[in-house]
Structure 1
C-alpha cells in the first residue's frame, strides 16, 4: 500500500503501511551502501541486518563506485568529514548518476562547522531523495525556512527528528511521537536511522511514504527497547532485538502519528 499523494492520511493507514514495508524489507533484502562515520559503521550495519537489509561500508577509492552502483540505495553521512570520505561521496554519487537510485543525505553536525555546512549545501544539488537531520542541522541547511517549504523547493523529503519527528515532502506532513529518551544516549542512533530510511527507499517508490514508515518503525523499536533496558548499554541490544522481532500487531497498536496536508 502506498500513502496517497495528498491530503490527510489516518494513523491506521500509516501504521499499516509501515507494517507492509517491514515485510518488504525482509522479503527483498535490499543492499544499502553506507558512506558513514567511523563510530557509526558497526551499529548501522547491525540495524540494517536486523530489518533484513544488507549493508556495505567500503570507502576505498578503488571500489566505492562499484559498490554504490550495485547497491539498491546509498547513504551519505557527513559525520566524519575527512578528505577520504568526501572523495568517496563524490565517486559514489557519480556512479549512480542517471540510475534513478535513491540516496539519503545525513548532514551531521553542520551547525557546528561552516566547511561541513558548505559541503552539505553542495550535496543538495545532487538531488537527495530524502534528508534526515535534527532541528539545529535543518536550520543551518535551510536558512530558517519551514520544513514543508524547503522540501517543496528542493523536491526532496525532509525527515526532521527530535522529541516528535516530522516528515514532509512539501505537500504532506506526518508527525511521529514514538521513541525513547535513551535513544539520545546511543552513539550512531541517528546515523543508523538514516540507513534504515535508505533501505526503505529501496523498496518503496514514494519517498514520503518510505521516510514516514522508516521513522515510525525506528521509533516503535525504541519504545519497545526502552521497556526492557536498564540503561544505554542494554538499550542498544534490546533495540536491535526489537527491530528484528517487530511485527504488524506491535506497529498497529503502538503507532503514535498525526497526518495532515501541507498548507
Structure 2
C-alpha cells in the first residue's frame, strides 16, 4: 500500500494547435512536474516525453465525433487521480477554454475541493490562419473576426452561423468539416458564394493540408480529399492574402 502523502492539484494546459513547439514554457513546466497526465487526441504525443518517468499517461480521447471517454468520466477521473497521485495535468489541444470544455473540468474539480491552475494555449482559430499567411483581421479586409463552432449540444447548426453569414467579419469555424457543404450552402444562400474561403486540416503538423478558393467551390474539393483529422474553416476577404488564392480561383474557373 502506498503511504506517500500527495497534495492533490490540477493544471489545465493548452497544448497548442498541434506542433509540439507551440506549447508555452509554463505548459512545459507543468508537464515536467506531473504525476498523471490526461491527454486528448488533439495534443501532440511528443509532449508526453516532457513528463517524468513515474508519470502515468492516460488517454481520454476527445475528438469531434469520436469520444473515447464521456466528459463526465473525465471530470471524475481528474478528481480521483489527483487525490491518489498528486499533480494531474489535463493536456488539451489548442486552448482549454476555446470549445475545449476546460471550464467544466475546472468547476467540477474545485467543487470537490481540488485547486486548479490554468495555462492558456495557442488556439487553432488564430494560429493556423496566421501560419498560412492569412491575418484574421487586416486593414482593408476585415475589422473583426468571429470564432464559432458548427455544432450545438443537440446536434444542429449553431444559430450564430446564420448571423455570421451576414457579417463582414472573418468567420473562423471549428469542428465543422463534417458540415462544410451545409455551411457553404448557408453563405451561398446569403448571396456570398464568391467570398474567399480556406480550409486547414491537421494544421501545424507534418501532414497539414490547406485548400483555398471560394464558398461555392471549396466544399467538393475538400470533401473528396480530406482525411479524418481535425480542421478549421475560414470564410472572409482576408483569405485573399493566401499566396495560392489567385491561382486556385483561376484553376477552379478553368475546370468549370
Alignment TM-score > 0.5, same fold: no
Structure whose residues are more often helix by fraction? 1
| TM-score, length of structure 2 as denominator length | 0.28
If asked which structure has higher relative contact order (CA below 8 Å, sep 6+), I would say 1
| TM-score, length of structure 1 as denominator length | 0.28
Structure whose residues are more often strand by fraction? 2
Higher Cα Rg: structure 1 or 2?
2
